[in-house]
């Protein structure tokens, strides 16, 4: 067997786009059940980018403890947010890829858009293989994480690099590492908050809750914390919020270590106990609604705020398929595609390709 087995590639007449965009998100279990959660968490939490403690110790804790207890607990949480078509993260990511395909087409770009998940399916490697089989020679990898972190963005890059290691003919690759301060993205977030205020009224404070990371990663040089703060500041500026009308907090703490602070739920409880009756909460670090927003925030954090004396908790959905969010993503992709051949080939070129293919024995 060859060391670098290659899937057959399509050449010549009628071939598809040369360039692809691969929209990557985290991944999600196949079903809201304990066995599906065990498979998903085993892959996710074994990633050394996600849990940075010595391998042998961590594998013993993961398999000896966490994978025995957490799958059933998490499955019950997933069951509470599951849609008829599947996990919200999967449903939104598929829809985003379709919309992005349409928007890039409208911008006159001849590009193939696919989506992939870092954990679970469709796997990044499988999607890259499929794109190569279609004749794609250049891939823009677009992780759906506005803020760069080692645990998310770099882990996608690792996975693409692992795939490249076993490929003979590696396509040209580009990565979008971040878009936390992209003006179009910030404007889309601001628009979604204003629309929420129009629909449901405006709270006294806007809480911007980001997924947490161990605090240690900040001291080790991970830019995630700074990028979250910058997104928060730019969003507050775009909304004309004054100091004291907004705050950034961090959710989804995992394990015993100290994570980035302030923590979201205790912050909400403190606000309620301090007399704040109505808050709005947005999760600007998530491109799509998922367990962490729909269950942890819109269910658990809401309940904690109300139990502490709050009266109104307004959850602002993630950008999901928001037209302004999708336009910002398309514009971002277009900028990163600059210089790649995304124009439709000239009709003469197509005619020549067809002639050559026919001469080589291809069927019309
Ligand atoms: C948006 C950025 C994310 C960062 C940063 C991040 C870091 C991070 N996460 C864990 C552990 C878990 N995260 C879980 C779910 C989850 N995490 C993100 C995003 C980020 N994670 C998303 C989008 C989701 C939801 C997926 C879905 O299916 O809806 C989970 C699984 C759920 C559970 O059992 O609680 C875990 C575990 C760590 C340890 C970490 C940083 C080091
Ligand atoms: Fe997470
Ligand atoms: Fe969580």
With respect to residue 362, please indicate whether it lies within any of the assigned structural domains.
no
| Measured distance CA(193)–CA(265) in Å, rounded | 20
Same domain, 40 and 150: yes
Tokens standing for residue 207: 């809480």
The answer to whether residue 205 sits within a structural domain is: yes
- Atom number, ligand 1, closest to the C-alpha of residue 292: 25
CA distances to 342, 345, 353 from 348, in Å: 17, 8, 9
29 and 161 belong to one structural domain: yes
Q: Is the pLDDT of residue 64 over 70?
A: yes
Residue 139 lies in a domain: yes
Q: Is residue 88 in a domain?
A: yes
Same domain, yes or no, for 63 and 87? yes
Contact 249, 263 (CB under 8 A): yes
> Same domain for 175 and 193?
no
Query: Of 211, 175, 208, which is closest to residue 193 (Cα–Cα)?
Result: 208
Buried/exposed code over 224-259 (b: 16+ C-beta within 10 A; e: otherwise): bbebbbbbbbbbbebbebeeeebbbbbbbbeeeeeb
Entry field: residues in the chain: 364
**DSSP H or E run through 23:** strand 19-25
Mutate which of 151, 286, 298 to test ligand 1's pocket (most atoms within 8 Å of Cβ)? 151
pLDDT band at 132 (very low <50, low <70, confident <90, very high): very high
Give the angle subtended at the CA of 282 by the CAs of 100 and 175, to the nearest 5°.
Answer: 40
CA distances from 192 to 73, 146, 179, 180, 239 (A): 32, 16, 17, 16, 11
Residues 49 and 119 in one domain: yes
pLDDT in tens, 294-325: 999 999 999 999 999 999 999 999 999 999 99
Distance of alpha carbon 88 from alpha carbon 290, whole angstroms? 6
Q: Are residues 173 and 203 in the same domain?
A: no
Number of neighbouring beta carbons within 10 Å of residue 349: 10
Predicted confidence (pLDDT) at residue 360 exceeds the cutoff of 90: no
> Which residues form the domain of 195?
183-316
Each residue's pLDDT tens digit, 177-208: 999 999 999 999 999 999 999 999 999 999 99
Residue appearing with tokens 């042998």: 56
- pLDDT class of 1 with cuts at 50, 70, 90: very low
* Ligand number nearest to the C-alpha of 119: 1
- Statement to judge: residues 226 and 102 lie in one domain: no
| Domain assignment present for 276 | yes
Give the ligand at the shortest distance from the Cα of 34: 1
Cα 182 to Cα 147, 213, 256, 329, 333: the distances in Å are 11, 22, 34, 10, 12
Q: Under a CB-based contact definition with an 8 Å cutoff, are residues 309 and 272 in contact?
A: yes
Check whether residue 194 and residue 283 sit in a common domain: yes
The predicted pLDDT at position 5 comes to 66
What CATH number corresponds to the domain at position 27? 3.40.50.1400
Which protein residues touch ligand 1 with a CB less than 6 Å away?
26, 28, 50-51, 70, 74, 87, 89, 145, 149, 151-152, 211, 213-214, 252, 254, 285-286, 290-292
The domain boundary, picked from 301, 316, 331, lies at 316
pTM for the structure as a whole: 0.93
The interface pTM score, or ipTM, of the predicted complex is: 0.97
Ligand lying nearest the CA atom of residue 264: 3
Q: Which two tokens stand for residue 205?
A: 């404070």
* Rg, C-alpha atoms of the chain: 22
pLDDT at residue 281 is higher than 80: yes
14-46 per-residue burial string, b: 16 or more CB within 10 A, e: under 16: ebebbbbbbbbbbbbbbbbbbebbbbbbeebbb
Sign of the alpha-carbon dihedral angle for 94, 98, 103, 105:
positive
Same structural domain for residues 41 and 124?
A: yes
Question: Atom 26 of ligand 1 has which residue's CA nearest to it?
Answer: 28
Residues 32 and 171 in one domain: yes
Q: Atom 32 in ligand 1: which residue has the minimum CA distance? A: 74
Task: Indicate the number of domains in the chain.
Answer: 2
Q: Do 145 and 157 reside in the same domain of the chain?
A: yes
SS3 141: strand
Q: Please state, for a pLDDT cut of 70, what percent of the chain lies above it.
A: 95
pLDDT at 2: 47
Helix (H, G, I), strand (E, B) or coil at 28: coil
Q: Do 71 and 156 sit in the same domain of this protein? A: yes
Nearby residues for ligand 3 (ion, Cβ within 5 Å): 252, 292, 296
- Asked if the structure places residue 106 within a domain, the reply is yes
Instruction: Indicate whether 284 belongs to any domain.
Output: yes
Bin 226: left if φ > 0, else alpha if -120 < ψ < 50, else beta: alpha
What is the pLDDT, as a whole number, of residue 92? 98
46 found inside a domain:
yes
């Amino acid at each position: 067997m060859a060391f670098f087995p290659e899937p057959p590639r399509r050449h010549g007449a009628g071939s598809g786009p040369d360039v692809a965009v691969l929209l990557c998100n985290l991944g999600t279990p196949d079903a809201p059940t304990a066995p599906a959660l065990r498979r998903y968490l085993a892959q996710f939490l074994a990633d050394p980018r996600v849990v940075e403690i010595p391998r042998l110790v961590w594998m013993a804790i993961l398999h000896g403890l966490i994978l025995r207890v957490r799958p059933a607990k998490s499955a019950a949480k997933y069951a509470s947010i599951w849609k008829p078509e599947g996990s919200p993260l999967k449903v939104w990511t598929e829809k985003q890829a379709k919309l992005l395909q349409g928007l890039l087409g409208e911008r006159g770009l001849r590009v193939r858009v696919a989506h992939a998940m870092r954990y679970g399916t469709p796997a990044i490697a499988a999607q890259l293989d499929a794109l190569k089989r279609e004749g794609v020679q250049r891939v823009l990898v677009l992780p759906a994480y506005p803020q760069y972190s080692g645990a998310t963005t770099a882990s996608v890059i690792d996975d693409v690099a692992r795939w490249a290691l076993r490929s003979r003919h590696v396509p040209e690759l580009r990565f979008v590492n971040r878009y936390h301060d992209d003006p179009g993205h910030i404007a889309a977030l601001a628009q979604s908050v204003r629309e929420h205020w129009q629909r449901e009224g405006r709270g006294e404070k806007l809480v911007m809750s980001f997924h947490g990371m161990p605090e240690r990663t900040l001291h080790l040089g991970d830019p995630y914390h700074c990028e979250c703060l910058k997104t928060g500041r730019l969003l507050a500026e775009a909304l004309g919020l004054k100091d004291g009308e907004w705050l950034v907090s961090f959710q989804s703490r995992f394990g015993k270590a100290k994570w980035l602070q302030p923590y979201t739920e205790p912050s909400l409880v403190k606000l309620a106990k301090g007399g704040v009756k109505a808050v709005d909460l947005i999760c600007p670090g998530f491109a799509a609604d998922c367990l962490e927003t729909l269950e942890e925030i819109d269910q658990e954090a809401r309940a904690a705020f109300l139990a502490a004396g709050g009266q109104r908790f307004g959850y602002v959905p993630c950008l999901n398929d928001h037209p302004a969010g999708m336009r910002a993503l398309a514009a971002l992709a277009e900028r990163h595609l600059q210089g790649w051949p995304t124009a439709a080939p000239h009709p003469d070129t197509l005619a020549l390709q067809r002639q050559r293919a026919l001469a080589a024995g291809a069927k019309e």
